[in-house]
Chain A
């Protein structure tokens, strides 16, 4: 985990899992929400505003502010503070509004 983190685990030997963030492999604490995992792994911003590109990051951690929106395994606009982190998640920053190409992803299911 990067030395540049905003948060760190209270425990000295936390359980970690591997996820992919923006195409790069990342070791993050397990058993926590995706937003918490990213905050403890040096990820400073998790979305870019649909209006002006402003970088946004988890703010309330309780599902109210929608600042932590990310794309998870191709699903847009997921609230990272409300989903548990799981090994192998492919996570990208939510950039702008949800991409309409997502329809194909949904149709595949």
Chain B
């Protein structure tokens, strides 16, 4: 493998990464795309090129549009490195990764982080019990393994992915005991009044309403306005318990798929010490970017959901826009900017409509927050009482966030729990200090790393 600096390294082969690669190649840039999966598409178009007719029919049009993008991407002349686990990225734009068990490094002139999103943690009592997974996990099993639930199933939480998965399971003939929805029936009108500009995004909204109508036609039990969700069971999930219409209710289930929206995967951007803001609209950290996606470190860009949640359409356009800027072609960007403006229109409404409720983000004392180190919300509040000021200090107090997931599953909860207990803003509390290795690497692999020939500029 050549060690000369590449014009553009893209991390992530989802819609943002593929969109950027196509645009950058069209302007003659040399491009390398690293991705942790075995085939392009990201989570949204996962294994779209391998899906058979049955799977495509179940997953629907919004999935199938990814096939052309992925096929075009594979043809575009970018060097594509699948199955790459990135364990370190430096501000000098070196990307260190493991591939087939070997450690390698690439040097870039420009770097685009397009690592997408993952699901917002939903720390409710019992969320650590086997049989509880995320709705995204259910969908990944459908996309990547053609596996469907084989036991009594409940979907719970809120957000478009929950409805989409329910419809996909319906199309596959899977029985759903109930869809336990934390959003309320009148929420749409209320949210609409708050964000009237969302009318420009009516196509996205109609799609959502279509999903709800499909569920209604199928006669799925759809509980609205549920709160205080709790999973019953210790060795395995037995039931979902919740409050609705003033009553405690219980629905037996062995598989409980939770979802309350997605949040940017900021692991790399934090590790680079980029500047981040707390987004009150999306209740998560977002790296500071200019209109082209360039971060506080010149030459390092972020596009798509890893910057802020916008969905696949926005991600692809942001990827193209960043590539145009990096290729020195910003004069050509106007159509992309206009399309982005339209594609983003519905987002404020979706954010307001499917805002994760406080009780499911900032749980009671007995709920486990850090799954790796088994630290509860009450433990964290006790640390605060003892003088702990922010997430990074919880590590010293009780190893919170120090397990293998490196805070990915607890970070947002820890920030909000501390902010709530100290009665300050999440921005004041801050986040974990994320350090490499971002993925497990052995000393033998580290010792065998081949260094790039060119010195970083």
Measuring CB to CB, which residues of chain A are less than 8 angstroms from any residue of chain B?
Answer: 5-11, 14, 29, 31-33, 36, 39-40, 44-45, 49-52, 54-67, 69, 77, 82, 84, 106
B43 A62 Cβ-Cβ under 8 A: yes
**A60 proximity list for chain B (CB < 8 A):** 118-119, 133-134, 136-137, 409
How far apart sit A103 and B379, CA to CA, in the bound complex (Å)?
35
Extra A-B contacts (20), CB below 8 Å, given A10-B172, A36-B145, A64-B265? A5-B150, A6-B150, A9-B147, A10-B147, A14-B146, A36-B141, A40-B147, A40-B150, A51-B373, A54-B374, A57-B130, A60-B118, A60-B133, A62-B118, A62-B136, A62-B137, A63-B36, A64-B405, A69-B404, A77-B404
B136 A6 Cβ-Cβ under 8 A: no
How far apart sit A84 and B145, CA to CA, in the bound complex (Å)?
11
B374 A52 Cβ-Cβ under 8 A: yes
User: Could you give, for residues 10-25 of chain B, a 1 whenever the CB lies within 8 Å of some chain A CB and a 0 otherwise?
Assistant: 0000000000000000
Instruction: Tell me whether chain B's interface is mostly helix, strand or loop, or mixed.
Output: loop
Instruction: Tell me whether chain A's interface is mostly helix, strand or loop, or mixed.
Output: loop
B170 to chain A, nearest CB (A): 13
User: Could you give, for residues 209-243 of chain B, a 1 whenever the CB lies within 8 Å of some chain A CB and a 0 otherwise?
Assistant: 00000000000000000000000000110000000
A6 (CB) vs chain B CBs: closest residue: B255
How far apart sit A41 and B245, CA to CA, in the bound complex (Å)?
39
**A6 proximity list for chain B (CB < 8 A):** 131, 149-151, 254-255
B409 A10 Cβ-Cβ under 8 A: no
B148 A8 Cβ-Cβ under 8 A: yes
How far apart sit A19 and B332, CA to CA, in the bound complex (Å)?
55
**A45 proximity list for chain B (CB < 8 A):** 130, 235-236
**A56 proximity list for chain B (CB < 8 A):** 128, 130, 371
B133 A61 Cβ-Cβ under 8 A: yes
B255 (CB) vs chain A CBs: closest residue: A6
B276 at the interface (CB under 8 A from A): no
User: Which residues between 400 and 417 of chain B lie within 8 Å of chain A, taking CB atoms?
Assistant: 403-405, 408-409
- Choice from A10, A44, A49, A84 contacting B58 with Cβ under 8 Å: A10
